[in-house]
Amino acid sequence: MKKKEQIERDFEQLVERQRQTIYSVCYLFADERQQADDLFQETLIRLWQGFDTFEGRSTEKTWMYRIALNTCINMDRKHRRRKDTSPLELSVDYFADAASWDSSEEHNPAAQRLHRRIGKLHPFDRALILLWLEDLPYDEIAAIMGITVKNVSVRLVRIREKLKSITD
């Protein structure tokens, strides 16, 4: 059994390697940076809680995507049920600096429009389009989402059509 310090070091290295992956998921489910930071922190908590049970049957990236997506989808559901939810009161500490917020997207009208349109999709569809935008192969998207490759293909066609029809 690993010592606590080694486990913590392994976790930090894992997060360092995959921080952009985690933050990309959180950003897509957030309306503003503070919310993305909160989702990022909550995802890190969930990853830490499940770190000792990760068996390596999938890649670390696939495992982290699943945790991040499930965390963001669950938080999104809670937020939609309780419109008066206040932001989390936790500090983002070490990992806040690790997360990269591309401020150029805040001033890019096309990126803002796409973000708003994606935000109007159902959480499952949002997750699928995120993975596609991350340029993951269909078989990896299928593994992360727990659906078939054919289902990924069909759903993405429908989602892209839906995004074209959504008005801002």
Query: What is the chain's pLDDT, residue by residue, as a tens digit (168 residues)?
Result: 568 888 889 999 999 998 988 988 898 888 888 999 999 999 999 999 999 888 888 888 889 999 999 999 888 877 766 654 444 333 334 334 434 445 455 567 887 888 888 888 988 999 999 899 888 999 999 988 989 999 999 999 999 999 989 886
The CATH architecture of the domain made up of 1-101 is Orthogonal Bundle (1.10)
pLDDT given for residue 99 in this prediction? 42
Q: Distance between CA atoms of 165 and 73, rounded to whole angstroms? A: 23
Q: Which fold has domain 103-168?
A: Arc Repressor Mutant, subunit A (1.10.10)
Number of residues that this document lists for the chain: 168
Tell me what pLDDT residue 71 has: 93
pLDDT at 142: 92
Instruction: Compute the distance between CA of residue 122 and CA of residue 127 in angstroms, rounded to an integer.
Output: 9
Residue 118 backbone phi and psi in degrees, to 5: -60, -35
* CA of residue 67 relative to chain centroid, distance: 8
d(CA 74, CA 29): 11
What angle in degrees, to the nearest 10, is found between the helix axes of 123-133 and 138-145?
Answer: 150
Would you kindly state where each structural domain of the chain is located, as residue ranges?
A: 1-101, 103-168
Q: Say what the pTM is.
A: 0.65
Question: In Å, how far are 6, 67, 76, 151, 164 from 23, measured between CA atoms?
Answer: 24, 12, 15, 26, 25
